[in-house]
Each structure stands twice: as C-alpha cells, then as structure tokens.
Structure 1
Amino acid sequence: MSLLPLEMYFKKVSQNNNSFPNRSGEYFSKYLSILSYLKSNVYPQINVGLTINSDGVDKSLYTDHSTAHFDEVVKYAGFLLGLGIDYDEESTQVVNLSPYEIFCLLVAIRIHDAGNILGREGHSNACFLVLKDIYSRNSFDQTENRIIAKIAAAHGGVTNSGSKDTIGVLEKSKGVHAIAVREQLLAGILRISDEICENRSRSSNYLMSYDMIPEANKLYHLYGTSITNNQYESNILMLEFSLRESWLSNKYRKEDEENFLIDYIYSRLEKMDLERIYCNRFTKEVCSIDSIKVTLSFFDEDESHEIAEPLAITLEDKGYPTRESPLLKYKEDYNGEAIQTKLRDRER
C-alpha cells in the first residue's frame, strides 16, 4: 500500500508503544486495518449512497467522495504540519503532535465524510455509525471511538443548539489512559484540510466535457474543475482558477436561485476565509494559514489564450478588527437604565 507523507511519518513514530494508551497495541497496523476496511467496504459505495439516500434536487451527482478525496485531506493535513510531498522515512521533519494524536487525526480524516454513504443530510454525525461498526467488529476501545468520531464530526454541521461552532464544543484536551488528545486542535486541522483540498480532481471532468452534468449540480462541478492549483507553503495558501469564456457568460442553478460562476467563486472564497480564521483559533500552536492568495485567469474555450488580465486577490487579517460586540446581550439586558429601574423597583 502506497503511503502518504503523514502516514509515513506515523509509521515511523508509532514504533514506541509507550506513546499509546494500549502499550501492547500495534497502532500502525490498527490504522491500516481500519483503512483497508474503509477502502473495501465503504469508500466504493459513498458516491452511490449519496445519490440514492439524499433528498432534494441535488440528489443527482455530487462531487467525488471516493478514496481519492480522503487521500487528498490526509495529504493536505501533512502539508499543514510541515510534511512536503517529497517526505520519506529518511526525512528529519518533526510534527508537533504526539504519535497517538496523529493516529486519532488520521482515523478521523479517514471517516469524516464516510457518513455520506447514508445520505448527505446529517452526514457529519453519521461518521459515528461507520466508526462504531468498525470498532465493534474489531473489539476496539469505544472511548477512543467516541473521541475520534467527535473530531471527525466537527468538520461541518451544527451543534445541538444550532451553532456552527462545532469545534468550540469539543474539549481542549481529553485523556485516554493518561495519554492526552487535543480534540479542538485535531478537529481544526481536519476541518481546514478538508476545506483547502478542493480541486478539479473532485469534479466529473469527463461528463463535463460532454455537458452531461445535471443542472442542479453543474455549478459545484464547475467550481472544482476551475481550480488548477491549490498549494500550501510558508503559511500561505495559493489558489489558481482557470475560467473559460462560456463558463463566465452563463448562469447556473443553485437550489432555488441562478448564479454566475464568478459570483459563486467569490462566495466560496469568503467561506474559505471564514474557515481559515475559525480554524486558526484552534490550530495556531501547531500550524496556521495566514493568508489566501488567489489568481483568477480568464481564457477562451480551449484555454489557449487569455481574454482578460488575471485578477489577483489576497485574503488576510489586516486593519483594525470589527465584529458584533460579545457584550450585546448584557448591554441590552443590564444597561444603566435597566439597572436603575430594577433598583427603583427594589426600593418600593
């Protein structure tokens, strides 16, 4: 089995059994066993499961959720942690995660989207069911199962209270037999890796070439197809888009609206920047994305000639920060007049 950089690093550091809760356990072999099960029984069926188990108009053709997508997330997590694509077992890079944390991160990445096999709705939490099945078949520790599943589920969805802050509700550090797992940190690495790994490999490019993508899904596939480079280096994410003339001149259906591709790209970049800011809060002790540098290039139909000057966009933290006051509720309910009124009522 060909290993990705983060997997090679884990193989190297997993040889010391004292780094794991079960000191007699072979955690690299355990990881390979989980991966083998997913590749044989789950990954090949996710795309079909999405189609037959999802409701609504976008039931027809989602972007790819096969083995390749999970590999990409593992690859970009390695990039964020300082492991380049040329990493091998002779390399000397050191990752600022414990061997057990790397195990938890790898397994969480490997099951984060596996719940899509049961349908798109609530897929983040459905990863619990997939991992529970694997762990029960192998008599693995259910405490470990719950921790990994929580890390995986935090890549999207909402909390029980309806908040999007799914990482914030996790514990900063959770102990498993005296081995610490930084849940928020690992969830942040997974979530931003999942966000930035999008590129044309996830789109159905062959069907695109024959204009056979269903209208309800075309915009999502065009977005992925237009990304020709997504590279992380020195805390900077570099994105390059190649946009054809016909893609720019047409509108595409998105739920109940019609959108131009360029406007959809802007909305996705805004979301990516929010994810960058959000995840940096949890990952900064190990890694961060300080800015996103975007190049939008405009071409004719065979992408042989540019039809306009490229756009260069940088998304980063700058200027004086603005936000809705975290004291808003208190300013409304406990302001000077409200307190004065309460004091007057108390004197009566």
Structure 2
Amino acid sequence: MNLRQYLRVSNLKHSRFKHVLHCNPGRVIIETQTDIRYLQLKMIDEYNRQVTAFFDIDSWLHSMDSHLPGIPWQQVPLGYLASWLNTLQLSFLVEGILWTVEHVSMLQQPIPSTLVSLIADPCTILCADWPGESNDSYGNRIPLFWLPLTLNYVLGTSKIPLSVLTKLISGDLLLIKKQQCSLDIGGKKLFTFNYQGNEGIIVTQSNIVNVQPSRGEEEHLLDWTNLPVDLEFVLDSHVITLGDLNNITAGSMLPVSTDAEQKIKIYLNRKFFATGELVALESGGLAVEINQINMSPENKTSHPDVK
C-alpha cells in the first residue's frame, strides 16, 4: 500500500512563505509579472540583519515623483538606473524598522515566479524570506525561555551484565562504579555539583565535555548474559525553564527534596527501573540499596527531557 496517496503534499517553498506571512497578517503572496522592471536590493537593519529583496523601479520612481527631462524613465536602461541608485543613500521603512540599502543591482537570475509582498515606504518590496518580527516580540511562537525542562541530579553510573540484572531483588546493593555528580537534561551533562544534604546542591562547574564511549568493531558478544546494561542513579529531579537554566552558573545553589538520598531513582538504559537508598560503603565508595523494583510492564517511561 502506498501511504503517500492518502497524504497532503507539502510544498517547501509555500511553507516558507507561510512562515513569512505568519509574522505579519498584512503580507500577501503575489505572482511576479514579466512586464515589470525589477531590481534587486541587499539591505541591512540596525540589528545587523541582512536581507535580499526586489522592487519595481518604476513604482519607486513614481513614489519619489522623480522625473528625467525629455526622456521617459521606461526608456532608461536598468543597468544605468542601478548605478545611479547606488550613488544615493536609499532606505526602506518596513513594518516600523528602517532598512538601509547596501547595494542595488540588476537581477542576478530570473526573479522567482512567486514572492511575498511587504508594504514599505517609499514603495512595496518583494522577498522570498524575511527576518520576522522584532526581537522582543514572541507573537504566537512557542516562548522558548518558558519551555519546561527536567533537570536531573545524577550521582553517577554503572554497567552490569544482563545476567546479574535478572537476579536482583529488594535489599541488594548496586555499586555506583563511576561517581560523577552532574546536572543532566536529556542525557547531556551540563554542570557538576556538590551535594550538601537537605541544604541543597552547589554547582561547581559548567560546560562539561560529553564523551560517549566508542566500541571497537572487533568486539563480539558471545553470550547474551554478558550483554552490558547501563544504570544511572538520580538523586533528585526538578522542572525548570530554559530561562532558569540560563541563570545557573558555578556557585549557584539549587534545592533538593527532603531526604532525597532515601529516594534514589535508578534508570536502566534510561528507563525507570527501581528506587533505593543511597548508602556509603566501608571501602569508601557509594551504592544504592534497592527497596523497590519497578515490575509494571506498562510503566516504561524514561526520565523525560521535557514535561
């Protein structure tokens, strides 16, 4: 069965136009005309945003009420007009923002058959793309800095063979073999921290280099019971916004739930596996004593990146 025959076909060019139109309902999509003399503009605004646009030179001349004694503008070659305009300090006011013209030229290639028309002063300009609304306006976009993210307080990780995993019961100890206290979002380590008990945690380092271990092609697994599984031990989790995350620096103090060390969550290959209590070993290491294993088959959710 061909699934495509049941689906709406999306045109990428029109999708881009819809994005441009979305920023301002006053914009319209038009078909360019072969009998109109277009010139190409390269413009820049006060935010150093650059854009390429087109305009009808005869419409601009009419708007500026310019006249050439004895010769109609339509008889003046476009190359001459482009050179002349480059001697002027042209600008266009588009939706309240002043765009300064850096260069005017003849078309480098045929003008697209469909473009978006923007109302501007002194005349309408055409474009295939446009930077959009000002930086301080969200419009109907997703407010990125309000996006909720789950920040996990990770104590460390371990690897154990699958054969050992199948024999675990409540009361067993799982050694945290690689101790590295880090703040993670979606498996990416962002900061390290020091745990201060119920007082919270202190962020100690940012911009951690995330290195994923590689496996050599020559490795062969001869026994499925020796398949390694990854365990991650999470002290606590808190929902924060991207704006909150942007404010976390070395020395920041973050809250920790009461008695968090007694409610450690263990994730198996990023799926919730068990809960337990963090304990100190006589050898100086850390481990988690399992108090409950998640045996519910329907509960297979990993710790989420976004809630």
State the TM bucket, normalised to the shorter chain.
under 0.3
TM-score (norm 1): 0.16
Bigger RCO of structures 1 and 2 (CA < 8 A, at least 6 apart): 2
TM-score (norm 2): 0.18
